Amino acid sequence: MLSAISLIAVFLLVCLLWAENTGSHGLILLFKTPLSFLFVLTAFFQTHQQAAYCRFVIAGLILGLAGDVCLGLPGNIAFQAGLVTFVCGHVLYTIAFAKLTRMIDWIHPVALLIPAISGCVFLWLTPHLGTMLVPVAVYIVIISVMVLGAYSAFRNPNNERAGAWAILLGAALFYVSDIFVARDRFVVNDFMNRLIGLPLYYTGQFLLAFSVGLVRQDNVATHSR
* pLDDT tens per residue, range 21-76: 998 889 999 999 999 999 999 998 888 778 899 999 999 999 999 999 998 888 88
Q: Determine the pLDDT at residue 219.
A: 52
The predicted pLDDT at position 102 comes to 92
Structure confidence by residue, pLDDT tens digits, 140-172? 999 999 999 999 999 999 999 999 999 999 999
Mean of pLDDT values over 8-20: 96
CA dihedral 47, 52, 53, 57 (to 10 degrees): 90
As a whole number, mean pLDDT of residues 192-213 equals 96
Residues 6+ apart with CB under 8 A from 194: 17, 20, 180, 184
Average pLDDT, the chain: 92
pLDDT at 114 over 90: yes
pLDDT band for position 218 (50/70/90)?
low
- CA dihedral 198→200→202→208, nearest 10 degrees, is -160
First to last CA, the chain: 39
Please work out, in degrees rounded to the nearest 5, the angle formed at the alpha carbon of residue 121 by the alpha carbons of 31 and 86: 40
Question: Residue 173: pLDDT above 60?
Answer: yes
What's the count of helices (H) and strands (E) in the chain, helices before strands? 8, 0
Alpha helices (H) along 1-50 = 2-22, 25-44
Cα–Cα distances (Å) from 121 to 8, 159, 192, 211, in that order, read 34, 31, 18, 28
Q: Shortest CA distance to 65 belongs to which of 41, 99, 46?
A: 41
CA atoms within 13 A on the CB side of 50: 28
Binned at pLDDT 50, 70 and 90, residue 12 comes out as: very high
pLDDT of residue 212: 93
What are the extents of the domains in the chain?
A: 2-214
Q: How far apart (Å, rounded) are the C-alpha atoms in residues 100 and 83? A: 26
Chain segment 64-111, per-residue pLDDT in tens = 999 999 988 888 888 889 999 999 999 999 999 999 999 999 998 888
Give pLDDT, residue 223. 42
The amino acid sitting at 96 is A
